Structure 1
Amino acid sequence: MTVSAQLSLDDFALLASQGVGLVINNRPDGEAIGQLTAADGKDAADRAGLAYRHIPVRLATLRPEEVDQFADAIDTAPGPVHAHCASGHRSALLWALSQIRRGRMSRQDASRWAQQHQVDLAAAFAWLDRQPT
């Protein structure tokens, strides 16, 4: 699993050449002027032979169903997964949340992973704390 900021059209062929099987776009359309639309991303993925999922989320209104959609996409991917958003942070948080919710990673393990990759999971942990048990 890798994450990045917004992809360009040329990035899809590069990801395919690196063995990626699925691209997940976590940006809502219209989030920023000039961003790649989900339809354009899907077309670029199709041309590169990649599977594509558009799972747009906003961290301020994140729902458990969206985290589960992200986890399901990873679980059923036809190969390695690359997720992108505006900066890569939202996609990294979704990955960590999906792993914690599926019982594949503890909060402690997620904290160690975040420290190694310089990702701030404070928002992810706060979100988890607000969820019913």
Structure 2
Amino acid sequence: MALDVHPLVDGLSVSPQVTEQDIRDAHAAGFRTIINNRPDGEEPGQLSSAQAGALARELGLTYIYQPATGPTLELVAPDFGAALATSPGPILAHCRSGTRCTILWALAEAKAGARDGATILRTAADAGYDLSAYAGTIARYTQSRAE
């Protein structure tokens, strides 16, 4: 299976769950950081964060494990934003489908004021991710910034 990469914004792409070969392919493609937003053991047979991290570091990549689930997305978003700001790029973030990473990016962007809500939603949609269910949360963050 080939690495399934969805470019989101300059320097950040998201993907579904990665395999060992995907990590090698990400390295070969020039990614310098991998962010794993999928909790260990979420699905039988998935590559563990310890295995992925060891391989990534062996290849000279920065590896960040930031597990997030529905209830914790808003809590993890600031850490995701900080990782994007401080890690060498380009960055590949992954979870089960790529949606969770895209939500984290959207919330971090909204909180930081980097883009307006409509642009955030359009950028996600252009990458193949429908974040309309998060439109209210994104709007709340962008509005609180303006106040």
Report the TM-score when normalising by structure 1. Answer: 0.89
- Distance in 2, matches of 1:15 and 1:85, equals 15
Report what 1:16 is aligned to.
27
- Distance in 2, matches of 1:31 and 1:130, equals 30
Equivalent position to 1:44, from 55, 70, 74: 55
- Distance in 2, matches of 1:130 and 1:95, equals 15
Deviation at 1:6, TM superposition (A): 0.5
Deviation at 1:117, TM superposition (A): 2.3
Deviations 1:80-104 (A, max 9, x none): 1100000111111111111111111
Report the TM-score when normalising by structure 2. Answer: 0.81
Deviation at 1:128, TM superposition (A): 4.0
Provide closer, same or farther for how the CA distance between residues 34 and 126 of structure 1 changes in structure 2, counting only shifts above 3 A.
farther
Report what 2:66 is aligned to.
55
> Is 1:125 aligned to residue 135 of structure 2?
yes
Pairing 1:14-93 to 2, within 5 Å after superposition: 14-64=25-75, 66-93=76-103
* Counterpart residue identity of residue 73, structure 2: L
Higher relative contact order (CA 8 A, sep 6+): 1
- Distance in 2, matches of 1:2 and 1:100, equals 18
Structure 2: give runs of 5+ residues left out of the alignment: 1-11
* Counterpart residue identity of residue 50, structure 2: A
> Is 1:4 aligned to residue 15 of structure 2?
yes
The CA RMSD measured in Å over matched residues stands at 1.9
Q: 2:121·2:135 contact (CA, 8 Å) conserved in 1?
A: no
Deviations 1:47-76 (A, max 9, x none): 211000000000233233x10100011101
Deviation at 1:120, TM superposition (A): 1.0
Structure 1: give runs of 5+ residues left out of the alignment: none
Percent identical pairs in the alignment equals 36
- Distance in 1, matches of 2:73 and 2:117, equals 18
Q: 2:74·2:104 contact (CA, 8 Å) conserved in 1?
A: no
* Counterpart residue identity of residue 82, structure 1: L
Deviation at 1:79, TM superposition (A): 1.8
